[in-house]
Amino acid sequence: MRIAIRLDDIAPVMHWENLSRMIALLEERNAMPLLGVIPLCEDQKLMHLQGVSERPEEEFLRFVKDLETRGAVIAMHGVHHVYRTEDGGMFPLNDRAELAGLPLAEQEDMLEEARQQMEEWGFDTDIFMAPAHSYDENTLTALKRLDFRRITDGFGRSPYRYREMTFYPIAVLRERAAKSRAKGSVTLVYHVNTMSDADFEAAAALFDRAELIPYRTLLEEPTSRRPSALMRAEHYAARAKRFLAARKRKKK
């Protein structure tokens, strides 16, 4: 199984040392990632994490655009990164959402505001990354109206098409994906703002075992259409993973 990497929660306020550390690990392995850029970050929890600091907007943009020239891919990561509903949407890995559960018109207005900010920053992307992995049919409709055509989410071993959108699946379990010798490709998700030294050591060891590819390579893979029945199965698989993760946390 080939492995691409995505990094969530990239914003002017973040753990810059951790981001640079992760980029170094990936760049030396020729596996530059997908960066989920938050257009209008208002996430107070993120802003108060240990090690997080704010950089001026100009410095933030220079840094991220330099990563883009070195091979990173940019995605729009939600709008404000603030959860407004308890709706897990079509892919309910979590029971909260910024967009899922809101009326179509409201979602479209929010996404248009975010898209305008990305354009002002000079980021030209048609890839969307939903906070908490939560999106619904209204989200897909709004995204298409705003010329987004790709989403980093879902389960599977290769990119698939649904409702004129292309989905790039994430791994159910990191270790299982890294060990798998099955054909196909999948994405591993990392939140660098909360990573510890132990997390980086584990990531480096996993990267050395896995067949890493640049995220740009994943975008070039052929796609296949996914029927509604398999989308429903994916929904229940995501719910099952959420349940098992909650039970594991409860036992700790």
What are the φ/ψ torsions at residue 8 (nearest 5 degrees)? -90, 160
Beta-carbon-side half-sphere exposure of residue 190 (alpha carbons within 13 Å): 29
Position 252 scores a pLDDT of 60
Q: Are 144 and 126 in contact (CB under 8 A)?
A: no
CATH number of the 2-251 domain: 3.20.20.370
Give yes or no for a contact between 134 and 84, defined as CB atoms under 8 angstroms apart.
no
What is the CA angle 116-120-126, rounded to 5? 55
pTM to 2 decimal places = 0.95
- The domains of the chain are located at 2-251
Residues in the chain with pLDDT < 50? none
Q: What is the pLDDT of residues 19-44, one digit of tens each?
A: 999 999 999 999 999 999 999 999 99
Task: State residue 194's pLDDT score.
Answer: 97
Q: What pLDDT does residue 244 have?
A: 85
Compute the distance between CA of residue 225 and CA of residue 91 in angstroms, rounded to an integer: 17
Longest dimension (CA), the chain: 47
Q: Cβ(208)–Cβ(224) under 8 Å? A: no
CA distance 175 to 62: 34
Q: Which two tokens stand for residue 55?
A: 């950089």
Residue carrying structure tokens 């980086």 = 200
CA distance 93 to 155: 11
pLDDT at 61: 97
pLDDT at position 68 is 98
